[in-house]
Amino acid sequence: MVSFAEIEQGHAKIAVVGLGYVGLPLAAAFGRQVPVIGFDISKAKITELKNGHDSTGELTNADLASTRIEYTTDASSLKNASFIIVTVPTPLCENKRPDLSPLRASSTTIGRNLKAGAVVVYESTVYPGVTEEFCVPILEAESGLQCGRDFAVGYSPERINPGDKVHTIDKIIKVVSGQNAETLDTVARVYEMVVTAGVHRASSIKVAEAAKVIENTQRDLNIALMNELALIFDRLGISTREVLEAAGTKWNFLKFTPGLVGGHCIGIDPYYLTYKAESIGYHPQVILSGRRINDGMGKFVAETTVKKLIEADKPVKGSRVLVLGLTFKENVPDIRNTRVVDIIDELRSYGVNPLVHDPMADPAAARLEYDIELIDLAGQEPFDAVIYAVSHKAFAALEPADYKRLCCNGNGRGVVIDVKAQLDRAALEEAGLVYWAL
């Protein structure tokens, strides 16, 4: 098998398959140490990167200029690589079952171009067993090579947090694993080239796969608890934010907050684990219960918006509601699995006309993915309500007077729905607005 020395000295190349939010920063980090092959099936993405621009916003033009990456859509270039890292997405099907088609396609492509002695490391979030039981047979069938004799596999779960400029690749401990001791050592030493925080050597590939999938499951359940508390406190007429502030004064209180749970990790990964659990005869109760709560929060926000419109003497049917933010989290352009669309869809079912403004999101992507036309605020007539859905920095400058201008159209009082619970309740109510926070 390829050795770490060969890679470190530049005699064996690293390739990264999939240049999205995970793959590109990783390829750039390795590219500052050794030449890297960056492969993606999107011609538009490769053209963009060759022109020195990253539309995800994860890397600046200077970041791209400081690394050595050979961008390509030519799968045959993978024949020149001896250490291949797979960072393709692992989404869900419509029935909330794992969609392994990106892994199947990438494994097929790699297998057809796999050379003897190579190591293939998967980073995509999966349930325990996918690497060895799903990916390896594809690699073997397409390459004609035998895993363990002619090539090796490893798994090192990604830990990228889109938009986070503090917890970057080099500062996060990397979990690594390999099918045997030799492969594990090679995988660990390769990642140590770019991860100054160090690596954690898992005892097996399945352990590493399981570790990744429970990281986000744990966060999902903690947020689900906060969301359930918000549902309870709303019925009691108590401010959830104030309750959490009070409880947070205890030294060991975990500071999670309620909200929409979307994106390509927290809202998806638990379903990978529950799918595997059910396949071996165990029906998860706590995990699925948490998922049901989190999946229902968009509907709850929309229903509350309708109630507040009525409270403000606004007609519900035909009302215009401004939704501030579409991306799944603040200050990133990523709209994958955003749960803001749940609010939008539910509002439409009541005859409400939601209009979405998001300076971070790509209008073409919003149109293609969700059939949503993003609007500019300039020249817009006042709305009936504003839903503060995503806390982009671009919205931080909005004052109570701005919200009053945005949603006071002379037809009843204006309504402000604060999904993030970050706005000044007293100031907004003093401005004559009906205010509600999750």
Residues annotated as catalytic are: 265
Rounded Cα gap, residues 423 and 433, in angstroms:
12
Return the bridge partners of 16, or none. Answer: 38, 85
State the Cα–Cα distance between residues 432 and 438, nearest whole angstrom: 20
Amino acid at 306: V
Residue type, 371: D
Helix 269-279 vs helix 286-295: angle between axes, to the nearest 10 degrees? 140
In 156-234, beta strands by DSSP E: 174-178, 199-201
Q: Which two tokens stand for residue 123?
A: 């980073």
Q: Where are the alpha helices (DSSP H) in 296-424?
A: 297-311, 340-349, 363-370, 400-407
Query: For tokens 């980090």, what's the residue?
Result: 29
DSSP secondary structure letter of residue 245: H
| Paired tokens of 437 | 């926070």
d(CA 51, CA 45): 10
User: Rounded to an integer, what is the distance from CA 215 to the centroid of its chain?
Assistant: 13
Closest CA to 126 of 282, 265, 280: 265
Distance of CA 150 to the CA centre of its chain: 35
Report the alpha-carbon distance of residue 31 to residue 19 in Å, rounded: 13
The counts of H helices and E strands in the chain are 17, 13
Query: Can you tell me the distance from the alpha carbon of 236 to that of 234, in angstroms, rounded to the nearest whole number?
Result: 5
